[in-house]
Amino acid sequence: MSFLKRLVPMKAKVWITLDKPTFMEGEAITGKVNIDSKEGYIPAEEVRVEARVYEHYQENVQVVINNQRINQMEPKKNTLFSDNVRISGPTDFGNGERSFPFSVGMPSSKATHYGGTIQNSLKGVVQVKGRPDITGETSIGFSPPGSQYMQAPQQQYMQQQAYGPQYGQYGQPMPPPQPYGQQPYGPQGYGQPYMPPGSMPMPGSAPGYPPQMPPQHAASNSRCKYCQGLMQAGSSKCPTCGAPQ
């Protein structure tokens, strides 16, 4: 093979299809590497996926322009993560399409420079002996845990709801109305009086109303006719001064 032919790209294209548009942080990224060949014969040494996490940021540098040293911002690119996953060994391709499933991990990274942005990249590579690699690249979107919108469960929940005066909260049927004079009290239920756990209604209490409490009589007191101190009514001696009453 001549040297110039080694520089000629193959008549084929590679692209990546993902199993879903976004992935949760920490979740394995799954999809397929697809190859469409019109070369006729491609002796591939391997098919792999290259996972990269890049940080793009601006850096203040000094440059010399017209013999003057000035400061200016220049774009920079830093690689925070790099991993190559081999998904197929040596294989030959003819005309047509072929797909190779893959699963690769990629960490959740944060920018290390002020104003920096993170790019999560996946590249499908078909390495061909003696010819340039056939590549296709795509970006990955991540979502924080628990932030994905569950469309199907939400629709199912809405279908289970019922509306109208005969339905209560969350679509549950309302209990039948109670006769006049029996009104709801507390969290025990509709038309039932609230009573603390373990308590019993007092005899003579009406149904649907709180239990009647027994009457309490306050103790009667009187004052000593000598020292004016308080004493129980009917006492023959003052507990304060000891004078007879």
Is 95 inside a domain boundary? Answer: yes
Is 174 inside a domain boundary? Answer: no
Which pTM does this prediction carry? 0.56
Question: How many distinct structural domains can be found in the chain?
Answer: 1
| C-alpha distances in Å from residue 156, one per residue of 147, 148, 152, 160, 171 | 19, 16, 6, 6, 13
CB atoms within 10 A of CB 216: 5
Is 20 inside a domain boundary? Answer: yes
Structure confidence at residue 238 (pLDDT) = 83
pLDDT tens track for 66-110? 888 999 999 999 999 999 999 999 998 888 999 999 999 999 889
Is 177 inside a domain boundary? Answer: no
Show the tokens assigned to 153.
Answer: 């469960």
| C-alpha distances in Å from residue 241, one per residue of 2, 28, 70, 122, 231 | 131, 91, 103, 100, 11
Structure confidence at residue 230 (pLDDT) = 79
pLDDT tens track for 117-164? 999 999 999 999 888 999 999 999 888 876 554 444 444 444 444 444
Are residues 74 and 57 in contact, defined by beta-carbon separation less than 8 angstroms?
no
Is 173 inside a domain boundary? Answer: no
What's 38's domain CATH number? Answer: 2.60.40.640
Q: Where are the beta strands (DSSP E) in 38-180?
A: 42-65, 68-88, 91-93, 96-104, 117-128, 134-139, 141-143
Q: H-type helices in the chain, by residue range? A: 151-159
Is 167 inside a domain boundary? Answer: no
Is 175 inside a domain boundary? Answer: no
Distance, CA of 37 to CA of 34 (rounded, Å):
10
Q: Which domain holds residue 41?
A: 5-143
Is 228 inside a domain boundary? Answer: no
pLDDT at 244 over 60: yes
Identity of the amino acid at 55: E
